[in-house]
Structure 1
Amino acid sequence: MSDEREQISTEALDGSPKWLDREYFEKVLRKARDDTNLSVQSVEVKLAFPKGVNYASVIYRVRVDFRTKDQSIFSRSYIVKAMPEEGFAKQKLSEYNCHETEMNVYQLIIPKLKQLMESIGDHSDLFPATLTIDRIKNIMVFEDLSSKGYIMADRFVGLGEVHTKLTLELMAKMHASSLKLVETNPTILEKYKNGIMTRGTDAFYPMFYSNFDALTEEISTWDQEWHYFANKLRKLRPHFIEQGLRVFDHQSDEDLRVLIHSDLWINNLLFKYDANGKPVDVVLLDFQFCCYSTPIVDLCYFFFTSTQDVIRQNCFDELVQYYYYHLANYVRKLNYAKKFPTLHEFQRQLLKKLFFAVYSSFVALPVAINEDTADADIEALLGNDERAWRFRKTMMGNKRYQKIIKYLLPIFDRKGLLDKLDSY
Structure 2
Amino acid sequence: MSDNVDKSKAPEWVDSNFLKEVLEYDGNFKNLIINDFHIFSSSALGDHFASIMFRVNITFSAQDHPSEKCSIIIKTLPIVEGFKKDALDKTNIDLFGTEIFMYSKVLTECRKILKSAGYNDLLAARMIYQSTEPHKVIVFEDLSELGYIMFPRTIPNEADTALIFSKLGQYHAATFKLAAEGHKALKLKGGVFNFGDIDMFNYFREPYSFFTVLVETLSGFEEASEKLAKVSFDKIVKNCIQIVNAPGSYEVLNHGDYHIKNMMFKGTNETAISEIVLVDFQICHWGSPAFDLAYMSAIIPPRIRPQAYKHYFDVFIDVLEKSGYKGLLPTFEQLQKDLKSYRILDLYFLGTNSPVLCADKDQLKDEMETLFKNPSLFKVLYSQPTYISYVKELLTVLLQEGFLDDLINSD
- Normalising by the residue count of structure 1, what TM-score does the alignment of the two structures yield? 0.88
Deviations 1:354-403 (A, max 9, x none): 3222222221111112243333323423x3xxx321x1211212232122
- Report if the CA contact (8 A) 1:239-1:420 is conserved: no
Output aligned runs, 1:40-55, within 5 Å: 40-55=34-49
1:303 maps to which of 297, 305, 320: 297
Aligned residue runs from structure 1 range 168-187, under 5 A: 168-185=165-182, 187=184
CA deviations on 1:90-115 (whole Å, 9 max, x unpaired) are 23233143233222222222122223
- How far apart, CA to CA, are the structure 1 residues paired with 2:254 and 2:36? 39
* Residue 378 (structure 1) aligned to one of 369, 380, 384: 369
Per the alignment, in what secondary structure is the counterpart of residue 73 of structure 2?
A: strand
Residue correspondence of structure 1 range 338-357 to structure 2 within 5 A: 338-357=327-346
Say which of 136, 148, 158 aligns to 1:138: 136
Q: What is aligned with 2:267?
A: 273
Pairing 1:90–2:77 present: no
Residue in structure 2 matched with residue 20 of structure 1 by the alignment: 14
Report the equivalent of 1:325. Answer: 314
Structure 2 vs 1, CA of residues 243 and 122 (structure 1 numbering), >3 Å: closer, same or farther? Answer: same
Report the Cα distance in structure 2 between the residues aligned to 1:66 and 1:361, rounded to whole angstroms. Answer: 48
- 1:160: how far off? 2.0
Quick one: which amino acid aligns to residue 406 of structure 1? K
What residue ranges of structure 1 are gaps of 5+ in the alignment?
Answer: 1-6
Distance (whole Å) between structure 1 residues aligned to residue 123 and residue 313 of structure 2: 18
Q: Secondary structure at the match of 1:9?
A: coil
C-alpha distance in 2 between matches for 1:411 and 1:275: 35
Residue equivalent to 1:164: 161
Secondary structure in 1 matching 2:193:
coil
Q: How far is 1:178 from its partner?
A: 0.5
In structure 2, the gaps of 5 or more residues are none
Mapped pair 1:240 → 2:208: no
Q: Which moved more, 1:371-380 or 1:231-240?
A: 371-380
Q: Confirm or deny: 8 A CA contact 2:236 2:344 kept in the other structure.
A: no
Q: Is the 8 A contact 2:247 2:288 kept in 1?
A: no
Give the one of 196, 212, 215 matched to 2:211: 215
Matched-pair contact (CA < 8 Å) for 2:250–2:334:
no
Q: In the alignment, is the contact (CA less than 8 A) between 2:6 and 2:41 conserved in 1?
A: no
Deviation at 1:249, TM superposition (A): 2.0
390, 398, 405: which one aligns with 1:412: 398
Picking from 106, 117, 122, the partner of 2:119 is 122
The CA deviation string for residues 282-318 of structure 1, in whole angstroms up to 9 with x for no partner, is 101111221111111111221332x4xxxx2421111
SS of the equivalent of 2:352 reads: helix
Identity of aligned residues (%): 24
Please, what TM-score do these two structures have when normalized by structure 2? 0.90
Quote the Cα distance in structure 2 between the aligned partners of 1:297 and 1:66.
Answer: 44
Aligned residue identity for 2:244: F
Shift in Å at residue 175 of structure 1? 0.5
Amino acid aligned to 2:84: A
CA distance in 1, matches of 2:4, 2:10: 7
- Deviation, structure 1 residue 11: 6.7
Aligned 8 A contact 1:107 1:133 in 2? no
What one-letter code is carried by the residue in structure 1 that aligns with 2:324? N
User: In structure 2, how many angstroms separate the alpha carbons of the residues matched to 1:322 and 1:219?
Assistant: 32
Determine which of 280, 285, 301 is the counterpart of 2:279: 285
CA contact (8 A) 2:206 2:375 kept: no
Contact 2:49 2:84 in 1 (8 A): no
Report if the CA contact (8 A) 1:249-1:293 is conserved: yes
Cα contact 1:8–1:42 (8 A) shared by 2: yes
Q: CA deviation at 1:66?
A: 1.2
Name the residue aligned to 1:366. Answer: 355
Structure 1 range deviating more: 93-102 or 136-145: 93-102
* CA gap 1:82/1:149 in 2 versus in 1, 3 angstroms: same
Amino acid of the structure 2 residue aligned with 1:168: F
Q: Distance in 2 between matches of 1:175 and 1:416?
A: 30
Partner SS, residue 28 of structure 2: coil
Distance 1:374 1:345, change over 3 A: closer
Q: Which residue, out of 70, 74, 77, partners 1:80? A: 74
Tell me, what secondary structure is at the counterpart of 1:251?
coil
What's the Cα RMSD here? 2.3
- Paired AA for residue 102 in structure 2: V
Find the partner of 1:399 among 385, 397, 400: 385
Structure 1 pair 225–142 and aligned structure 2 pair: CA distance change class (3 A):
same
CA contact (8 A) 2:290 2:335 kept: no
145-154 or 69-78: bigger deviation: 69-78
Mapped contact 1:14–1:46 kept (Cα < 8 A): no
- Say yes or no: does 1:103 pair with 2:100: yes
1:54 is displaced (CA, Å) by: 2.6
Moved more, 129-138 or 226-235: 226-235
The whole-number CA distance in structure 2 between the counterparts of 1:184 and 1:402 is 45
What are the Cα deviations for residues 218-258 of structure 1, in whole angstroms up to 9, with x where unaligned? 333x1564343233222222420122113312335xx1210
Amino acid of the structure 1 residue aligned with 2:388? Q
Cα distance in 1 for partners of 2:96, 2:213 equals: 34
For 1:4, the equivalent position in structure 2 comes to none
Shift of 1:199: 7.1
In structure 2, relative to structure 1, the CA distance for the partners of 1:223 and 1:11 (3 Å cut) is closer
2:189 pairs, out of 193, 196, 201, with 193
